[in-house]
Structure 1
């Protein structure tokens, strides 16, 4: 039985969305988004595809992606 676990996810996710999907705390969700996502103003988000790549990659960020914590605006 092939079940798409990502079906109900919106195209752009908040930390709350990530926390609920991964069943982790909000702080952990923010850490994940800081690794894989993007900043918009004072908020951080990630795309559905970024989260899928993170999950399918075993929870490791891609080497060529820059960590948001190292970016300055």
Structure 2
């Protein structure tokens, strides 16, 4: 997976909380730090995110996005 954004952090999904419209994904970085991302429930489902999976946080000046490898 390649992105044009330079600020990328690799980690693992620690937990997912789903709301009616939005969700919260907590990811753990290799050094133990955590990042919390608020993304739509639709995006969580489209990415098929699961706890324990590897993800990449893409950090832009106005937002943080998550991505995962297709397998």
Between structure 1 and structure 2, the one with the greater Rg is 1
Whichever structure has more strand as a proportion of its residues is 2
TM-score (norm 1): 0.34
